[in-house]
C-alpha cells in the first residue's frame, strides 16, 4: 500500500540495531575484539551495548530469548543483514585488512556504484555489510535521473591502495 500523503523527514536516520545472540561474551569478542567497537555498558549478564565514538549504542547484543540458541534458518523471514557505514574508503580498507589479519572469513565483496561493501556473518550467523558510500556526485544515474545501483566485483587492489 503506497502512502502518497506522508513522507518520512529527509533527515531521518536509522539509529541502532539490537541483535539476539546466543552468547554475549562471544559476541563482544567479535564486535569489540575484531571489529573494534567499544563496550558502552552491560545490562546484567544478558545484554551489552557497543558503539563507535562514544554514542550511547549502535549495537545492542542480548540473550533474552536466544541464550545458547542456534542461528535462524537461512530460508526464513527476518533480518537479511545489518549495514555498518564506514566514513571513508580508507576505513573500509583498514577493516578489511583487520579481518584478513585475524583470519575472519569474508563471504562477499561488491561495488554497488553508490558504495563498496564487504559481507560477512557474526558468530551467530547474523549477516553484516561493512561499507562506505561513494561521494554522491559519483553515483551512477539512469537517463531519468534515478540512481543506478548494480553489483560488480570489488576492486581489492584499489581498496588496498588506500592503506599502502
What domains sit in the chain, N to C, each tagged with a CATH number? 16-68 (3.10.180.10), 81-164 (3.10.180.10)
pLDDT of residue 61: 98
pLDDT of residue 164: 87
pLDDT tens-digit map of 122-139:
999 999 999 999 999 999
Average pLDDT, the chain: 95
Give backbone dihedrals phi and psi of 120, rounded to 5 degrees, phi first.
-160, 175
pLDDT at 81 over 90: yes
| Banded pLDDT at 1 (limits 50, 70, 90) | low
C-alpha grid cell, residue 9: 523527514
pLDDT tens-digit map of 35-56:
999 999 999 999 999 999 999 9
Average pLDDT rounded to a whole number, residues 71-96: 95
pTM > 0.95: no
pLDDT at 34 over 90: yes
| Banded pLDDT at 2 (limits 50, 70, 90) | confident
Amino acid at each position: 500500500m503506497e502512502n502518497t500523503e506522508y513522507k518520512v523527514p529527509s533527515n531521518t536516520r536509522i539509529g541502532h540495531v539490537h541483535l539476539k545472540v546466543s552468547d554475549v561474551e562471544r559476541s563482544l569478542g567479535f564486535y569489540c575484539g575484531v571489529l573494534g567497537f567499544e563496550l558502552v555498558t552491560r545490562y546484567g549478564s544478558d545484554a551489552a551495548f557497543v558503539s563507535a565514538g562514544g554514542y550511547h549504542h549502535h549495537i545492542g547484543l542480548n540473550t533474552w530469548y536466544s541464550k545458547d540458541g542456534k542461528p535462524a534458518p537461512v530460508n526464513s523471514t527476518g533480518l537479511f543483514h545489518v549495514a555498518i557505514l564506514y566514513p571513508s574508503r580508507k576505513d573500509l580498507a583498514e577493516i578489511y585488512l583487520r579481518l584478513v589479519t585475524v583470519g575472519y572469513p569474508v563471504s562477499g565483496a561488491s561495488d554497488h556504484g553508490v558504495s563498496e561493501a564487504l559481507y560477512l556473518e557474526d558468530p551467530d550467523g547474523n549477516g553484516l555489510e561493512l561499507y562506505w558510500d561513494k561521494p554522491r556526485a559519483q553515483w551512477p544515474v539512469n537517463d531519468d535521473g534515478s540512481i543506478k545501483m548494480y553489483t560488480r566485483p570489488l576492486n581489492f587492489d584499489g581498496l588496498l591502495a588506500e592503506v599502502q
